[in-house]
Amino acid sequence: MPLSGCYYIGTESLSCGQKFSAVNPKTGEFLETEFSEGTDKHAQLAASLAAEAFIDFSQTSAVQRAQFLVLIAEEIFNLGDELLLRAGLETALPRARLENERARTCDQLKLFAEILNEGSWVNAIIDTADSSRKPVAKPDTRSMHSALGPVVVFGASNFPLAFSVAGGDTVSALAAGCPVIVKGHPAHPGTSELVASAIIKALKKTTLPSGAFALIQGSRHLIGESLVKHPDIKAVGFTGSLKAGRALYDLAKSRVEPIPFYGEFGSINPIFALPDGIGTNADKFATDYIASLTLGVGQFCTNPGLLVIQQSKQSEQLLKHLLHKLKKMPSGTMLSINIQTHLNDEVKFLNKQNGVKLLTESVKNTSFAGTNNKIYTVAAQDFVKNAQLQEELFGPVSLIVICSNRLEMMQVATALNGQLTVTIHTMLEDLHYVQQLTNKLSQRAGRVLFNGYPTGVEVCRSMVHGGIYPATTDSRTTSVGSEAIYRFTRQICFQDVPQKILPCALKNNNPLKICRMIDGQFITN
């Protein structure tokens, strides 16, 4: 396996004395190849190179950046089995899951290439001058979205490809014209380096500045803090735990120049199942719910960690099916021993909470980072009184809230913290009540689903993968879909600027075939 164990800064690889290794979560054994610990020196170098590259990279044409993204996708596929095998060893994820994630990663790159080629993402708005206007002449003003500056991206633990080195944060930032420095996740450094090598190969095939991309590895928090604090960094993308993310968020906001910090901290993704939504098919509902709960060993940010039901004949049948089905559901291996240990601590805490009872659990997986599936129950009033029951259990563990009536179900909805998703299962027998519940839950999440399950995030233009804090740090944004590009742009207005100086998208004779608003009307050249 041709892994160097070095940093990638620009097109150069650097190393230092201190090393760390990845651990196989199934066996607990250290994997071959040591990786260099990033230092403050490397953070300073990467940030400086990114700042130098920013002017040239941000001024490249959208077509050039689109070609770069397509090349990255091609180089990732060219890694072949080497990437899948290494990712499997480092994460214990099955090959089929990794193949799907690789396809999603590459499709994401191609989606943003399409967005760049189409061009309307710059939101070009032109208000032409009117010298005859009284009492004051109207100036010529033109605005568009422009790249924000160098961006730091933290690789996620649970998606070694789609939310890591070439994941959504990296792709949307590069598409906007922002150089990217990735802090690789220490649980899968080999996977990170392989993907970084694909990006470097793609970069070398272009005329883009080498400082447009860098990877820095490291198992310690200091390197991440150094990157966030660096004055040349203008935004941060983070997917991970609330504790770690909040510490970095506070750091970003306490700088002399505060910067945007786009953090995704997780969610319990409540499902509200009305009696008519369960209906006569409680068996199927139980099967589908458990499948969504345990998908990826419960380590998706969209696994349903909370099920809210109303006491009824349908819910009684559902509880019986859940009890029997979960016992038979195979348990899995978690991504790392650290995640497994943290989940164990969270479960111990849950067991001590007032009114919480274990409904059922499966047999524990005996691998090094093995776990087991669990479902707990709690009465609605106990849930509403205890805000700590809303903390995410990152793993295949779910809490069922049992409501006595519709009023209690609405009280649970009112008490909810911010979420990535909320789901309602209903056949609309009482349209007025469902509308009220929908309105309430829509205030709590970035995505509202009906009669489905939140696992599975479609990568498309209309997707919103965001939510109210503590799900994310900015409810106005998404980390999936075409709108993600706006996290790494800013609007800039040009007033009475000569045509020769204006960006192409704002020139009168615009060579780009994009939709623009001119004097209040949308016009496509």
Tell me, yes or no, if 460 is annotated catalytic.
no
Rounded to an integer, what distance in angstroms lies between the CA atom of residue 225 and that of residue 247? Answer: 9
What are the pLDDT digits (tens) for 487-507? 999 999 999 999 999 999 999
The band of 421, judged by pLDDT with boundaries at 50, 70 and 90, is: very high
The band of 1, judged by pLDDT with boundaries at 50, 70 and 90, is: very low
pLDDT value, residue 18: 86
What are the pLDDT digits (tens) for 114-123? 999 999 999 9
Give the whole-number percent of the chain exceeding pLDDT 70.
96
212 secondary structure, DSSP code: G
pLDDT value, residue 107: 96
CA 299 to chain CA centroid, Å, is 13
Nearest to 62 by CA among 126, 19, 10, 116: 116
CA 473 to chain CA centroid, Å, is 12
Residue 55's CB: how many other CB atoms inside 10 A?
Answer: 10
DSSP-assigned beta bridge partners for residue 143: 125, 493
The token pair at 34 is: 């040591």
Rounded to an integer, what distance in angstroms lies between the CA atom of residue 114 and that of residue 108? Answer: 10
What are the pLDDT digits (tens) for 23-77? 999 999 999 889 989 989 999 999 999 999 999 999 999 999 999 999 999 999 9
The token pair at 417 is: 């913290």
Nearest to 181 by CA among 105, 115, 243, 235: 235
CB contact at 8 A, 245 and 237: no
Structural domains in the chain plus CATH codes: 7-20+34-265+476-487 (3.40.605.10), 271-450 (3.40.309.10)
User: Which SS3 state, helix, strand or coil, does residue 340 take?
Assistant: helix
Q: Is the pLDDT of residue 393 over 50?
A: yes
Q: What is the mean pLDDT of the chain?
A: 94
The band of 525, judged by pLDDT with boundaries at 50, 70 and 90, is: low
- Rounded mean pLDDT of 295-300? 96
pLDDT value, residue 2: 42
Tell me, yes or no, if 264 is annotated catalytic.
yes
Q: In what order do the strands lie in the sheet with 489-495?
A: 489-495, 141-147, 125-127, 515-518, 521-524
Q: Is the pLDDT of residue 377 over 80?
A: yes
Annotated catalytic residue, options 301, 392, 403, 483: 301
Which residues lie closer than 8 Å to 161 by C-beta, 6 or more apart? 76, 87, 98, 101, 102, 104, 105, 167, 191, 195
Burial 184-207 (b: 16+ CB within 10 A, else e): bbbbbbbbbbbbbbbbbbbbeeee
Annotated catalytic residue, options 75, 101, 193, 264: 264
- Rounded mean pLDDT of 131-148? 97
